[in-house]
Amino acid sequence: MINKLFLISIICLIGLSGYTQSDLQVTSDGIIIPKANHTTIQNPDEGLLMFDPFTYSFWFYNGSEWEEIGNDNDKDETNELQNISASTMGDTLYLSDSNYLIVPGISAANYITDGDGNVYNEVEILGQIWLEPSIRSTTFNDGTPIDNPSSYADFWSNGDNNIPSYMWYDQDSVTYASEYGALYNWFTVDTASNANKNICPVGYHVPNITEAYQLRDTLSPTNTSLVGHHLKTIGNTYWQGQGGIDTYGFQGKGAGQITSTESRWLHRQLHMWSVTEHNFLVDRSWFIELNDFNSGLGISNYPKKFGHSIRCLKD
């Protein structure tokens, strides 16, 4: 939604002599401000920002007169804005007289980021909005570190003590982090264990079992054996056996799991924790399952101490 705010600037172009919407361009990193001699613009709208190639400076129309942003050394301080600052929370430039402009691309508010600053994309699947790729944060979204044991035995021991923990496959973040994400024990997503923290970016959460069934049954209510086919990556780069067709861009990759003694099943499975505990087996919780040996999407339960992937769902 934030990138749509550049339309405000387009509206401001109404009444400009010789200008069309094509003169305003939005790039992946920001916005290109219209360029012209500001003194030649007829009936400028309040809030219009221009770059003047003759003065080589930006000019802002405050509703009655043009003000120059920055010091042009002409000794006339009445036509200048001496101060300009950017918000760290959103795409807003604040000018010295308390006016402001909204400009896309100047802050992290344009991106969906976790506690480490890793960027994720939204994938819409029939009404649900998931994040891609799998989570690889080493902190909760408030910056609190998640424990990273140095051995499989310590990872297992942390599980015995309900301590949120993660490991990289083969303890190798360089090879596996960006493609597969980290592998976490279930206590990382359990609010009782993690002091009510959230590993997902703000505005997103780890799904519960009801949302997991919604994913499966919405995708294929009459033949759930085909659901995984729509979520797995194409081909055999990330799957030892059957890849998928990746209908929605979910990019499901066989990330494997962490056990008490090893990393295993790379390209064989993608297990994604839910926040829901098993009703009767207190040491187990529910997860969403993709495997290399079939095209289905399974919903099953697993011991909480194992290291599995996490996918996030929009609130």
Q: Which of 21-30, 49-58, 99-108, 209-218 is the most confident on average? A: 209-218
- The region of weakest confidence among 3-12, 191-200, 302-311 is 3-12
pLDDT of residue 182: 98
- pLDDT bracket for residue 48 (50, 70, 90): confident
Nearest to 171 by CA among 239, 258, 240, 268: 258
The separation between CA 90 and the C-alpha centre of its own chain, rounded to angstroms, equals: 15
pTM attached to this predicted model: 0.68
Mean pLDDT for the stretch of residues 237-251: 92
Mean pLDDT for the stretch of residues 264-273: 98
Nearest to 232 by CA among 217, 248, 220: 248
pLDDT of residue 27: 45
pLDDT of residue 107: 54
pLDDT of residue 286: 98
Nearest to 96 by CA among 60, 137, 53: 60
- The region of weakest confidence among 72-81, 150-159, 192-201 is 72-81
The answer on pLDDT for 98 being more than 60 is: no
Output the average pLDDT for the chain: 82
- pLDDT bracket for residue 87 (50, 70, 90): low
